[in-house]
């Protein structure tokens, strides 16, 4: 499930990555436990799952709910007109975007999220009375982790 974990990244190391990997491993172990018959002895994986703190993303994913968040923003110090958003989401968010018409099965996730992101930018500008129909909102760079 988290093999498709995707997020927009910017230069620099993400300090949350290690925590996310630990939680993802705990969630995977929990899912494996659900598939196995229960035993009287408490498996090590179950103990690890119980101790692992879950982020909002993991909670939503376990509930099979769509989740998206802007988890970071950086400004290019050499050109303050350029910035970078870091966006994180789960697979259920991608399914919701497809249902809302932002993509179809087979479309790359970064393109689906890019369409949604551009729509958000257009709507925000229109609410302020700004016509930006010919604006380029840059490139959505995605790394699969």
Q: Whole-angstrom Cα distance, residue 46 to residue 31? A: 10
For the residues 52-62, what does the mean pLDDT come to?
Answer: 90
Rounded to two decimals, what is the model's pTM? Answer: 0.59
Helix (H) or strand (E) holding 87, with range, is: strand 83-89
Residues spanned by the domain of 33: 2-144
Interval 62-84: pLDDT, tens: 999 999 998 888 888 999 888 88
Degrees to nearest 5, angle at CA 51 with 15 and 14: 5
Counting the structural domains of the chain, the total is 1
DSSP characters for 97-115? HHHTTS--TTS-HHHHHHH
- Most confident by average pLDDT, 46-60, 90-104, 117-131: 90-104
């Amino acid at each position: 499930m988290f093999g498709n974990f995707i997020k927009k990244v910017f230069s620099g190391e993400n300090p949350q990555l290690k925590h996310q990997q630990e939680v993802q491993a705990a969630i995977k172990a929990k899912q494996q436990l659900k598939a196995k018959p229960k035993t009287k002895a408490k498996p090590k994986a179950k103990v690890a799952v119980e101790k692992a703190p879950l982020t909002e993303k993991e909670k939503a994913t376990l509930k099979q709910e769509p989740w998206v968040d802007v988890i970071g923003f950086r400004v290019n110090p050499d050109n303050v007109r350029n910035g970078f958003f870091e966006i994180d989401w789960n697979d259920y968010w991608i399914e919701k975007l497809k249902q809302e018409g932002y993509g179809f099965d087979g479309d790359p996730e970064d393109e689906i999220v890019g369409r949604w992101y551009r729509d958000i930018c257009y709507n925000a500008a229109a609410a302020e009375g700004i016509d930006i129909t010919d604006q380029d909102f840059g490139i959505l760079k995605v790394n699969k982790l």
